[in-house]
C-alpha cells in the first residue's frame, strides 16, 4: 500500500531536474550583475543609477587609465577626454575585467585594448564597441 502512495522514482528525478533548471533560469533573468570588475583606480568604482544617472565622477577616472562601471568601460586617455566602451571583448564575448598600464584587459584570451578601444594585442581583431558618454559638470553620464 505504501508503494502506491510514493511517486515513481523517474517522476521524482525529472521533477528535481526541472526545479533546478527553473532556479537557474530565474537567477539568470533576475538582473543581478556579476561581481564588480577590477580597476587600477584607487577609488572604488561608483555604481551607475538606472534611468541615465551619473555613471561616475570625472575625478574617479584617472588620466591615462580608466574604470569599469556596470556595463561601461570609461577611460580618460588624455586630460579631459572621456571615452566609453562596452566591456564585451569582440574576440569571444568575455567581459574585460581590468585596466592596467594604460591597457584594457580581457581575462579569457588576454586580448588588450588601448584606452581609445583599439586593439593593442590580440587575439581580438576588432576594437571594443563604443558607448556614448558625456560630461555634465563633474559627472560622466551615458549618452
Each of the 143 residues of the chain gets a pLDDT tens digit; together they read 555 555 555 554 544 444 444 444 444 433 433 333 333 333 333 334 444 578 889 999 999 999 999 899 999 999 999 999 999 999 988 899 999 999 999 999 989 999 999 999 989 999 999 999 999 999 899 88
Distance separating alpha carbons of residues 96 and 110, to the nearest angstrom: 9
Number of H helices, E strands in the chain: 2, 11
End-to-end CA distance of the chain: 68
Distance separating alpha carbons of residues 24 and 129, to the nearest angstrom: 29
Q: pTM for the full model?
A: 0.62
Q: With beta carbons less than 8 A apart as the criterion, state whether 110 and 101 touch.
A: no
Place of cell 568575455: 94
Q: With beta carbons less than 8 A apart as the criterion, state whether 74 and 66 touch.
A: yes
Amino acid at each position: 500500500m505504501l508503494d502506491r502512495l510514493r511517486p515513481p522514482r523517474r517522476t521524482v528525478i525529472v521533477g528535481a531536474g526541472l526545479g533546478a533548471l527553473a532556479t537557474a533560469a530565474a537567477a539568470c533573468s533576475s538582473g543581478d550583475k556579476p561581481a564588480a570588475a577590477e580597476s587600477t583606480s584607487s577609488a572604488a568604482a561608483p555604481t551607475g543609477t538606472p534611468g541615465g544617472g551619473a555613471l561616475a565622477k570625472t575625478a574617479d577616472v584617472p588620466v591615462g587609465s580608466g574604470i569599469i562601471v556596470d556595463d561601461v568601460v570609461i577611460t580618460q586617455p588624455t586630460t579631459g577626454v572621456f571615452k566609453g566602451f562596452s566591456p564585451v571583448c569582440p574576440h569571444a564575448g568575455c567581459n574585460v575585467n581590468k585596466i592596467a598600464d594604460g591597457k584594457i584587459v580581457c581575462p579569457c584570451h588576454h586580448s588588450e585594448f588601448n584606452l581609445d578601444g583599439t586593439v593593442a594585442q590580440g587575439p581580438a581583431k576588432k576594437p571594443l564597441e563604443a558607448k556614448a558618454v558625456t560630461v555634465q559638470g563633474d559627472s560622466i553620464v551615458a549618452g
